[in-house]
A and B are shown apart, each in its own frame.
Chain A
Amino acid sequence: AQSVTQLDSQVPVFEEAPVELRCNYSSSVSVYLFWYVQYPNQGLQLLLKYLSGSTLVESINGFEAEFNKSQTSFHLRKPSVHISDTAEYFCAVSEGTGANNLFFGTGTRLTVIP
């Protein structure tokens, strides 16, 4: 069965420090991978996605994630966080063949400390 694991439920980090939010998935087939962000009192919105091609994908606000097939991971990183990055981040996976539904991890709450 498909599953997504976000190992850290909460990550506090000081402003301008680097951060990594971890995501691992279980799937025996090819996958499409997504990171969604939910800012306080807002809806979920797509941050970045991996469909194919380059394993490193970037967002417009400085986040990046790298698809690692051997480790079945899709960790999200940012070299220097801002206060405005405080939000909940959800990793999601959709299988490339067979089931079409989108599965989410339980989320990681990133809190940036001034």
Chain B
Amino acid sequence: GAGVSQSPSNKVTEKGKDVELRCDPISGHTALYWYRQSLGQGLEFLIYFQGNSAPDKSGLPSDRFSAERTGGSVSTLTIQRTQQEDSAVYLCASSLGRKAEAFFGQGTRLTVV
């Protein structure tokens, strides 16, 4: 596609449910990033993929959060047993590498009620 695509754009879920957020990066981009933007907060790094491997998972806030990437393309961020504090906009970005511009998707707005 022309840009980074994220789905769904909005997700409302009940506390305790699991959610999956999807990111389709720009074709050919080997690097993929997940960030979280909470209300009134900056961008919080979650995880970085180079190809299918994640050399840096240091930003995942708890073991309820996990992510995978398959075929060097699509990535899924999974949040298990969601809590209200998980409510945020989850942003995905991809780039050709660390020197290159990171292109961002429009994000998934997650609301846990």
Contact = CB atoms under 8 A, between A and B. Distances in A.
Interface residues of A, number: 24
Interface string B58-92: 00000000000000000000000000000000010
A44 B91 contact: yes
> Among the interface residues B42, B48, B97, which one has the most CB atoms of the partner chain A within 10 A?
B42
Contact of B104 (A45, A96, A105, A107): A45
Interface string A69-82: 00000000000000
B107 interface: yes
Given A90-B43, A106-B41, A95 B104 contact: no
Contacts, number: 61
Interface of B: 31, 33, 35, 41-43, 45, 48, 50, 55-56, 91, 93, 95, 97-99, 101-107
A100 interface: yes
A34 B56 CA distance: 20
The secondary-structure label for the interface of chain B is strand
A57 B107 CA distance: 28
A94 B98 contact: yes
Nearest to B56: A101
A46 interface: yes
B42 A106 contact: yes
Nearest to B33: A102
Question: Counting chain B CB atoms within 10 Å of each CB, which of A34, A99, A100, A105 scores highest?
Answer: A100
